[in-house]
Structure formats: structure tokens, C-alpha cells
Copies of this chain bind each other. A is one copy, B any other.
Amino acid sequence: MQTLNVDLGDRSYPIFVGSGLIENTQLILPYVAGQQVMIVTNDTIAPLYLEKAKALFPGKQVDSVILPDGEAFKDLTHLNLIFDALLEKQHNRTTTLVALGGGVIGDMTGYAAASYQRGVDFIQIPTTLLSQVDSSVGGKTGVNHRLGKNMIGAFHQPKCVLIDIDSLTTLPDRELSAGIAEVIKYGLITDYEFLEWLETHMSSLLSRDQDALIYAVLTSCAAKADVVAQDEKEGGIRAILNLGHTYGHAIENHQGYGNWLHGEAVAAGMIMAADLSHRLGWISGADLKRTQSLIRAANLPVDAPKDMSVADFKALMAVDKKVVDGKLRLVLLKALGQAIISSDFGLEEFEASLHSFVH
């Protein structure tokens, strides 16, 4: 087992990464302050891991709530089911919520923990590659609104994160690839060497080689932790983590949440951001092709959905959080391994890039 510490002052916490961790009761128990635990999971994960997760907390009052699986249910209505369970089981302010599942479960459980009685503890046990390398670091929690993704939420840090790499054995291929999209993102935004490693180890990741997965998860979490430690509340540099996300959110929003997986939309969005970066003369045509090849090697989309238009993208990107006082800001690539946040481009270049993907 390896431990990565996320350094956020008095909100610092450890991420444990390894095999067989969900059967190790001594690891997690020191992070439970009170006598009550509420495990939040979904109907896909519950049959696989809920009983094991319950056994992690001997001697505690352990309750659970099982939500329907999917981004389509990441809303205030389903969030309220967590509050229902907490109140029906009389959980008090010393309770600990445990997120057992992917990014949707992590985001909803974290926001429920941030909001229940104005803030209680929570622990993450992410079971998908995407949630292991993304939502397990950074404290972003929340739910979607019909007019925008993640528009309602809070910053709330977990007490610890338990990443059991064995949980990836039950992950469908499509979701593994979606997770790799975020892994590639860390290479693109801050770590050129990791990008090179990914170019040579993609087949190991896709065949779920344990050592390759542990290395990719740890390197990704460390890259994210480094950015988040510099800028916890996303005043500046943290926004580079959103490479591909402004485009990606537009795709998810247009297609209906859950039809395109988040990682798939981000993959296409990263190509769109790389294309604009190339048009601005920041990265070469060869760099753009390398990026496309890597995304394609991970079995991820390099194109926008066929039924979207330039107008769709423009409308959906305008309500995104990256808009400050009316000016569109995007995360773009100055080079492979170096992202920047920029509004330093003309509308015509932005539109020309969109036109190369959609009608």
C-alpha cells in the first residue's frame, strides 16, 4: 500500500492506494470520529461491495442508502434521499458519511456531508478509475441543475480516501477508458514525462495491469494534489484541471447527462481545446496528432457528437463557470504538459475551431 498526503493545512488528509484495502478494517477506523456511519452507494455497486464496506466499521452504527446509478440522478431530489436516511436513522453531528462508488456518488455524498447539519465528516471509497484520479482529490462536491452541471455544491474535504485498485476488476471497459481520459489530462496539463509514460503503457492500463494502474492513479492524484494545494478554492491556477471540461460539459448537457460518460466528453473536449491551441500557434500539428493518437489508443472519442452545432456549443458554454463578467475563458495548451487559462483569443478563432468539429 502507498500513501499520498494531500496538503491543505488543517484540512489535510491521506489517500491510501493499494490492493485489498477494502478488507483492511484497521486502516479507515481512526478516521471515524463518532459512533455513526452512513454509507452512500448505488444499485450497481451495492451488490458488489456494500457488505465489505459495512464490515470496515466494527462496533459502529452502520446504515446505508442506495441511490439509482447514473449522472441523471445527481440532483437535489436524490440528494434529499441521503438527508431522509440520515434523519430517519437519527444521525447526529458526529456522524461520518462514506461515499462508496464513482464520481456521482462521491460528489453527492460530499455535498450531503457539507450540508447535513451544516457540515459533518466524510470518507471516500472511490470504485471507478475516474473517481479515483479525479474526485478523490480536491474537495469539490455538488449536484447538477437542469441548466448546468455541478452548479450547486460546496468545497468539503474528506477525512481520508481509500483507493482499492481491486475494485477496477469489476469496472466495465467503457468506464475504464473514461477514467483514462482524466489520467491523460494530468499528462497534458502539467507532466510531459507522464504523458510519454502513457504513450508507452496504454495497453498495460487497458489490460488492467495492477502495477500500471497503481502508478497511474498515484501519479494522477499527486498531480492534482499539487495543483489543489496551490489554489484550494479555484481562484486561479486550479482551473487548469478543467482542460476539456467547458467543451465536455456542453456535450454532456446537450446529450443528456449520462449518455456520454463524463470522461468521454472530456476526451473530446481536450481534443477541441488542443485544436484551438494549435490554431493559436501554441502547439504544433504534430503535437495535436500525438494528443489525438493517445486519446484514440484509450478507445476514447476524438470528435464532438454529430447532432451538435456551433450554436449549441456557444449557448451551452456561456452559462459555464469559466465565464467571468461576460468573457469566455478556456483552459488551453501552451505546450504538451503545460496548460494555461486564457481569454486571449478571438471569437473568430474559437468559432473556426468549433466549425472544424461540428456544422
Kindly state whether residue A262 has any CB partner on chain B within 8 Å: no
A140-167 interface bits toward B, Cβ cutoff 8 Å, 1 = contact, 0 = none:
1110010110111111000000000000
Which B residues touch A76, using CB under 8 A? 76, 79-80
Kindly state whether residue A210 has any CB partner on chain B within 8 Å: no
Kindly state whether residue A204 has any CB partner on chain B within 8 Å: no
Q: How far is the CA of A55 from the CA of B137 in the complex (A)?
A: 43
Of A84-92, A268-276, A344-352, which stretch is located at the interface? A84-92
- In the complex, which residues 309-335 of chain A have their Cβ closer than 8 Å to any Cβ of chain B? 318-319, 321, 323-326
Contact of A324 among B93, B116, B142, B150 (CB under 8 A): B93
Kindly state whether residue A285 has any CB partner on chain B within 8 Å: no
A321 in contact with B154 given A87-B145, A87-B147 (CB within 8 Å): no
Q: Tell me the minimal C-beta distance from A97 to chain B in angstroms.
A: 13
Which B residues touch A115, using CB under 8 A? 115, 142, 152-154
Which B residues touch A324, using CB under 8 A? 92-94
Whether A319 lies near B87 (C-beta < 8 A) is: yes
Whether B151 lies near A92 (C-beta < 8 A) is: no
A88 in contact with B147 given A119-B233, A152-B115 (CB within 8 Å): yes
Which B residues touch A150, using CB under 8 A? 118
Kindly state whether residue A170 has any CB partner on chain B within 8 Å: no
Residue of B nearest to A82 (CB): B152
Kindly state whether residue A3 has any CB partner on chain B within 8 Å: no
Interface residues of A, CB < 8 Å — how many?
Answer: 39
Contact of A92 among B117, B119, B152, B323 (CB under 8 A): B323
Residue of B nearest to A86 (CB): B151
Contact of A118 among B34, B148, B154, B319 (CB under 8 A): B154
Q: How far is the CA of A260 from the CA of B19 in the complex (A)?
A: 56
Which B residues touch A148, using CB under 8 A? 87
Which B residues touch A13, using CB under 8 A? none
Kindly state whether residue A83 has any CB partner on chain B within 8 Å: yes
Kindly state whether residue A35 has any CB partner on chain B within 8 Å: yes
A214-237 interface bits toward B, Cβ cutoff 8 Å, 1 = contact, 0 = none:
000000000000000000010000
Q: How far is the CA of A152 from the CA of B153 in the complex (A)?
A: 12
Using a CB–CB distance below 8 Å, which chain A residues touch chain B?
A: 34-35, 76, 79-80, 83-84, 87-88, 90, 92-94, 114-119, 140-142, 145, 147-148, 150-155, 233, 318-319, 321, 323-326
A-B contact pairs, 9 of them (CB 8 A): A34-B325, A35-B326, A83-B152, A88-B147, A93-B324, A115-B142, A117-B153, A118-B140, A118-B154
Given contacts A84-B145, A92-B325, A118-B153, 15 further A-B contacts (CB under 8 A): A76-B76, A76-B79, A83-B152, A87-B148, A92-B321, A92-B323, A93-B321, A94-B324, A115-B142, A115-B153, A115-B154, A116-B151, A117-B321, A118-B141, A119-B233
